[in-house]
Amino acid sequence: MAHSQYNYRDTLDRLVRSDTRWLDIGCGHTILPEWIRGSVDFQKALLSRCELARGCDPVDDRPHVAGLTKQVFQGETLPFTDGFFNLVTANMVIEHVADPIAFAREVHRVLSKDGLFVAHTSNLYYFEYFIAHFLPSSIVSAVAQMLDGRESDDIFPTHYRMNTRSAFQRLPGFKIQSLECVTTGPKYGKIPVLNLIESGFIRLASFRGLGDLRSDWVAVLQKVDNDSISA
C-alpha cells in the first residue's frame, strides 16, 4: 500500500515549474523523507527546476540535504516580504498550528496573487490521530519515538485545528483547488492489537462515502484576493 508522502511528492512534481518562487514552511533538513527511493535526487531536481526556493523552520538548523537555502526563526510572522512567493508548502506541519487564522494570514501575505498553498497533513478523523488528540503529550511523544524512531526534540505538540475537510473549507483568504484524503499503509505491524484495529479502519475507509476517514490530507489551496485576513 502506498504512503501519502508519494501523493505529496507527485503534487510537488506537478506544480513546481520554471517560474515557481517557492517557500517550504517547517522545512527541516529535507523536503521529502529520505526513505523514499531517489528522494534527495528528486528534491535537487525540483529545486533546480524552479526560479527560486527558500525554507524556514523554527528549530532545525541542520544543513538541508538538497541544498535548500533556509532560515531558522521562531515567531508568528514569516521573515519574507509580501507577495514574494507563488507557491508555499508545508509537509506534516499544519497539525502543529495552534492558531489557524494567524497561520493562514501569514501564508496569504507572502503569496502573490492566485498563489498556491500546498499542505500534506494528518486527518483528525483517522483513528490514530483522533485518539492522540485526547492523550497527554508525554504519551503521544513516547509512542512517536517508539514507532518512528524520532528523538524527543524532533516531536512537537499537535493541535489538529486545520485537519478536517471543513477546516480547509473555512480557511479565510483561500479557495480549494484540490483536496484529497489519502491512505497510508499500516504502521502498527509490530503491535498485533493495534495492527488489527488499523487494518480494519483502513478497510472501512475504502468504502464509498467514508473516504474522509483515511489517514492524511493533500490539499492545494489558492489565494483568492490581495486583501489581508482580519483577526
3-state secondary structure at position 98:
coil
**What is the average pLDDT score of the chain?**
89
Write down the CATH superfamily of domain 4-123+157-185+214-223.
Answer: Vaccinia Virus protein VP39 (3.40.50.150)
Give the number of other CB atoms < 10 A from CB of residue 36.
15
pLDDT-based confidence at residue 227 (cuts at 50, 70, 90): low
Q: How far is CA 167 from CA 70, 123, 179, 217, in A?
A: 29, 11, 12, 12
Summarised one tens digit per residue, pLDDT across range 25-54 is 999 999 999 999 999 999 999 999 999 999
Which grid coordinates belong to 149?
A: 524512531
Helix and strand numbers (H, E) in the chain are: 7, 7
Summarised one tens digit per residue, pLDDT across range 177-212 is 999 999 887 776 667 677 787 888 788 888 888 999
Sequence ranges of the domains in the chain: 4-123+157-185+214-223
Provide the sign of the torsion angle of the four alpha carbons 58, 64, 66, 69, taken in this order.
Answer: positive
Which residues neighbour 106 within 8 Å (Cβ) at sequence distance 6 or greater?
A: 76, 77, 78
